[in-house]
Amino acid sequence: MLLALVLSIVVVFSCVIGILLFLLSKQKAAQRVAAQRLSNSEKNVAEVQAKLGEVEAKLTRYSLIESVEAETRRLTKEADANVAAARAEVTRATAEASSVRQLINSLEAERLRLISSSEASKRDLAAEISTLKKEQERLSLDAQIQEFGLYEPKYQFPDSPRYKQELDKIYGRQKEMIKTDTAARCDSSWTVEGSQARGRRMVEQELKMMLLAFNGECDALISKVRHDNLKRIEERIEKLFEKLNKLGSEKRCYITKEFLSLKIKELYLTHEYAEKKQLELEEQRAIREQMREEEKAQRELERAQMEAEREAERCRVALEKAQREAEKSQGLKLDKLTGEIERLTSLLTEANARKERAVSQAQLTRSGYVYIISNIGSFGEEVYKVGMTRRLDPMDRVYELGDASVPFPFDVHAMIYSEDAPRLEALLHRFFDSRRVNLANTKKEFFRVKLDDIRGVVEKNHAGEVKFTLLAEAAEYRRSETLRSSNRAESSF
């Protein structure tokens, strides 16, 4: 639209310039004609004067001829007539030139007026463009704020059933307003062909169509609501409300603002209800993941306990057999059996220790390992995952995290055993909460933080000695970068 207006102004301005050029050429042509006529008149005067000279010469030569005086009067009269005609022509050309000048002046004034009008239009267009840009920036900022998870919820219900309950209330209030004729109204009484009943039916149909259109379009818009289009859908609902009321203004029919307010509440409740359900699904997924982790840890403990018991039993049986044989043996054989008895006794002691440790680990449900790991190739420098596992071998959990879902394996910076591992993990998460990589989902355990800061918090809140590895080996990532640089260098030749 703006481009079409600017093009129309350019076309008008070009037409004015063309007209001015045409009039100027016409003026110059008229001046040339007038100059030509004046030149002809001067030539005629010169010819008359020449003839007068000739006549005077003849009069001098033929002064005795009586007809010379009459000829002189005739020629003089003819010369006067020619001079008068020339003067009249000059006067007419001057008047025509003056008229052309006036026309040129008026066209110049019109040109200046059009230029001034064009400049004013340009200023108005620039102001309108600036206003639209500001509005676009505001809408873009709103969308960007919502897109990056900074949306401020209007309702703070604890769970999705509470949102569903509130939505049902909103639906009930909308139905009640439609039933009591307070959702849409008409401020005039109409008669159709003298019948008030037919007028009422006309009004009822008009209000019904307006509500059907409004509800249908609102339902379609609300069904598409996402975190990044919430504000735009709200504006579309408000514009739909204004448009339908404008269409019904001729019959003085309109949808009430109370009904619009319920639709806006329905929009926000629907959005937050979907967000809450998604959050609950993620929480349930995290709980299931934790349960699977607990089950794996429990199975490992049970397996380790059974293996330790079997190993202890094997060592006990072998020890008893060696002791019985030693009682019957002498000499070198006895010395050999004595050494075997000592070895089996040591193995039995270790097996019993492993069994007791597995039993103790199974009984202490909060004991486990808090791990600090990084993956430079996948997430960049100074991004660490702080997690917890109850596996007997905590590296099994690290290997699982570095599976096919990430391009490179994780590097371990610390593996901290704690009798209350969930407390230590929660403390670290809470302390570095503002430095989460994903602020929208607290189930993600990645933090953008310096390793020294993590070590400082651990040393203040953990009694045991903890060894931190500050340098990330990232062997596969560094090897990949070396190969990539080498390939680029070869391709440049």
How does pLDDT run across 391-422, given as a tens digit for each residue?
777 888 888 888 878 899 999 998 988 888 88
Q: How far is the CA of 14 from the CAs of 6, 322, 390, in angstroms?
A: 12, 118, 84
Residues 45-66 as b/e (b if ≥16 CB within 10 A, e otherwise) read: eeebeeeeeebeeeeeeeeeee
Check residues 103 and 262 and name the one with the higher pLDDT: 262
pLDDT tens for each residue of 111-168: 677 677 667 666 776 776 776 666 555 555 454 444 434 456 677 777 788 888 889 9
pTM: predicted TM-score of the whole model, two decimal places: 0.43
Of these ranges, 10-19, 54-63, 189-198, the one predicted with the greatest mean pLDDT is 189-198
Residues 6+ apart with CB under 8 A from 34: 89, 90, 92, 93, 94, 96, 97
Query: With 80 as the cut, is the pLDDT of residue 101 above it?
Result: no
CA 459 to chain CA centroid, nearest Å? 43
How far apart are the C-alpha atoms of 59 and 76, rounded to whole Å? 14
> Domain map of the chain by residue range?
2-145, 160-188+196-280, 292-363, 368-491
Query: With 50 as the cut, is the pLDDT of residue 200 above it?
Result: yes
Question: What's the pLDDT score for residue 143?
Answer: 47
Q: Average pLDDT of 365-392?
A: 87
Q: 464's torsion region: left (phi>0), alpha (psi -120 to 50) or beta? A: beta
Q: Across the strands, what pairs with 415?
A: 371
CB 421 within 8 A of CB 369: yes
Question: What's the pLDDT score for residue 157?
Answer: 76
pLDDT tens for each residue of 469-487: 888 888 888 888 888 888 7
Of these ranges, 32-41, 51-60, 413-422, the one predicted with the greatest mean pLDDT is 413-422
How far apart are the C-alpha atoms of 296 and 395, rounded to whole Å? 13
Share of the chain above pLDDT 90, in %: 19
Question: What's the pLDDT score for residue 149?
Answer: 41
Query: With 90 as the cut, is the pLDDT of residue 386 above it?
Result: yes
> Of 84-93, 228-237, 300-309, where does mean pLDDT reach its minimum?
300-309
Residues 6+ apart with CB under 8 A from 192: 198, 199, 201, 202
Question: What's the pLDDT score for residue 346?
Answer: 79
DSSP, collapsed to helix, strand or coil, labels residue 414 as strand
Residue 250 carries which DSSP code?
G
CB 449 within 8 A of CB 382: yes
Check residues 202 and 78 and name the one with the higher pLDDT: 202
What values do phi and psi take at 368, rounded to 5? 170, -165
Question: What's the pLDDT score for residue 250?
Answer: 86
Mean pLDDT, the chain, integer: 77
Q: Average pLDDT of 38-47?
A: 67
